[in-house]
A and B are shown apart, each in its own frame.
Chain A
Amino acid sequence: MSSIIIWTVAVITVLGLVLALVLYLVAQKFKVQEDPRIDEVEKVMPGANCGGCGFAGCRAFAEAAVKAPNLDNNYCPVGGNDVMAKVAAILGYEVTEKAPMVAVVRCNGTCEARPKVNDYDGYPSCYVKSLLYTGDTGCSFGCLGCGDCVNACQFGALSMDPVTGLPVVDQEKCTACGACTKACPKRIIELRPKGPRGMRMFVSCVNKDKGPVAKKACANACIGCGICAKTCTHEAITVEANVAYIDPVKCKLCRECEAMCPTGAIHGVNFPKPLDKDAIKERIKIRQQKAKEAAHV
């Protein structure tokens, strides 16, 4: 009996020693020499591995950041300026600051404004749908409503509004990683600067059809009439291919375009007061009259 115990102990011990040796040798053979700063950088990263920076994950970003001569081309949109300041401190680079961005859905073709003209019966994916045809509404540019963007978002910042059938961005959760902009086959979602206290203006439509066609498909469409561009005193608005675009850098958030837009395609968000259309229209009228008089003189 005791010999069995002795044998068992002996065999297990020898086995353990041999395996430990094997493990040690293998670990030595496959040892990878790495810059220790990579680990340090990775530690301060958000760890979401979302790919928003353009690399496969936070570790890949850290490797690239350590290798690069500066941080100009490497920016973590999720961590933002805080994280980048820490990264810069570790690597001894200069801090690059960027304005915080947010995803903006440029379609306001609600179920009500943009009625369905046929009944899609395939796999509920915007991409599959876009491969097949232009969509189940009259608008061939607008949101397909299957939620590819929602599925692409790793931060739970996007959700489909069951009433409008459109995705809604939760600006608190959005990290501007850009996954949704790539997932949307219609390229409706755009990353735009968050703006001061979150205030921002944008044209919520990408329909390039001529006015009457766009209007027929969707009551909220931008019809490319150009009133906004004419109204804007900051040259922030351009109309190209029948659709207006507001340059976020030039825009001074005066909301005049929003008040003048005949279809309500221009949206302003996070303003403290609701839009007083009449007051703004009155203001514009007075200004234009003055300009006319000045021209006469």
Chain B
Amino acid sequence: MSKLLVSPSPHIHSKDSTKSLMLDVVIALIPAVVCSVVFYGWQELMVLGVSVASCVLLEWAITKYMLKKPSTIGDLSAVVTGILLALNVPYTTPWWVVFVGAVVAVGVAKMTFGGLGQNIWNPALVGRVFLLVSFPTYMTTWSKPQGLFGVDAVSGPTPLGAIQEGLMQGSTVQELTSAYDYKDLLFANLGGSAGEVCALALLAGFVYLCCRKVIKPWITLSIFATVALTSLIFWGVNPARFTDPLFNLLTGGLVLGACFMATDYVTSPMSVWGGVVFGVGIGFLTVMIRYFGSYPEGVSFAILIMNSVVPLLNMWFKQKKFGRK
């Protein structure tokens, strides 16, 4: 001991750090990553690799050469963005499209605002939506998974896309959904973004995050509840026009979005009630976009729209203060 340390209280700190929280998110994503690689094979592995590597490298390069600040890649948030971006695009996406997505996600949506914690919109979702509107061919040509050891690749639309197309051609929802076994939806084996492949793996990650107290379940649960309730009402009114609640819950990126994208710390409200309202908004908008929008899928847009109102939600919904009304 040379000189005594002196600081204001408290003198100890919990084990949590930004890095440990991000590491927990990465761990929670492992089941989904493993599932997607198993179902989609080496191509998916390449998409993941390109996405994570370009996100991390971009953040490093931007902090070093443009912001001239100490590098922030150690907090692992770029890794999380990279994995989420990879899970949000089809496994057939060419590597350079993935790279462009990473540039938009990290370069535009995250670093222009000042890096982690300063961005308004979820970086991975901004990247995905950018790709969706810029490269619709790559983003909507889904191939049926061939598996890690499979051979035959059959291309086809996503369940939601198929239904929108079918509806336009005059089929009823019942005819269209009969093609899908809900067990398949839960355990995968359907075309779509890589991360949408296995709802169960995503839910396992969600439960892990809740148990580790990294996130609170309210946002996710309120999204699920709202999607179920809203689609139940529409489906109840006209089952021939509108898909049923379970189908809505299990298809598209809903589980991925609700568990991992909407719960992103930076772009979600802090208070419990703010989170619930946020979730209700996402759920409602998702169903509306799916039923009435021109895109078959609405989760990404719904989350980005609700991201924009987070500052307001933070202002409106505050925790009750001790001893005050």
Instruction: Name A's B-contacting residues (CB within 8 A).
Output: 116-123, 128, 131-133, 136
Query: By the criterion CB–CB under 8 Å, are A121 and B3 in contact?
Result: no
Query: With the chains together, A128 CA to B7 CA distance in Å?
Result: 10
Q: In the complex, how many residues of chain B place their beta carbon closer than 8 angstroms to a beta carbon of chain A?
A: 6
A-B contact list, 7 entries, CB within 8 Å:
A116-B3, A118-B5, A119-B4, A119-B6, A120-B6, A122-B7, A122-B8
Q: Once the chains are docked, how many angstroms separate the CA of A286 from the CA of B6?
A: 52
Q: Which residues of A contact B4 (CB under 8 A)?
A: 118-119
Which chain B residues lie closer than 8 Å to A122 at the CB level?
6-8
Q: From residue A241, how far is it (CB to closest CB) to chain B in Å?
A: 27
B-side contacts of A120, CB under 8 Å: 6-7
By a CB distance below 8 angstroms, the chain A residues around B8 are: 122-123, 128, 131-132
In the complex, the answer to whether A118 meets B3 with C-beta atoms within 8 Å is: yes
User: For chain B residues 97-147, which have a beta carbon within 8 Å of chain A?
Assistant: none
Report Cα–Cα, A136/B3, bound state, in Å. Answer: 10
In the assembled complex, how far is the CB of residue A121 from the closest CB belonging to chain B, in whole angstroms?
A: 4
- B-chain residues with CB within 8 Å of residue A132 when the two chains form the complex: 6-8
In the complex, which residues 228-266 of chain B have their Cβ closer than 8 Å to any Cβ of chain A? none
Chain B 1-37 near chain A by CB (<8 Å), digits 1 or 0 = 0011111100000000000000000000000000000
- The chain A residue with its CB closest to the CB of B11 is A121
B205 shortest CB reach to chain A, Å: 36
**Least Cβ–Cβ distance between A90 and chain B, in angstroms:** 43
Residues of B within 8 A of A128 (CB): 8
Closest approach, in angstroms, between the C-beta of A101 and any C-beta of chain B?
A: 35
B163 → chain A closest CB, angstroms:
34
Residue of B with least CB distance to A121? B7
Candidates A123, A131, A136; contact of B6 at CB < 8 Å? A136
B2 to chain A, nearest CB (A): 8
Complexed CA–CA distance, A124 and B7 (Å): 10
A133 in contact with B3 (CB, 8 Å): no
Proximity string of chain B (76-107) to chain A, C-beta cutoff 8 Å, 1 when within and 0 when not: 00000000000000000000000000000000
Closest residue on chain A to residue B2 by CB atoms: A119
Complex alpha-carbon distance, A118 and B5, angstroms: 6
A297 vs chain B, min Cβ distance (A): 60
Residue of B nearest to A133 (CB): B6
Give the distance in Å from the alpha carbon of A47 to the alpha carbon of B307 in the complex.
Answer: 38
Shortest Cβ distance from A114 into chain B, in angstroms?
14
Alpha-carbon distance between A122 and B5 when the two chains are bound, in angstroms: 10
Kindly provide the distance from the CB of A130 to the nearest chain B CB, expressed in whole angstroms: 11
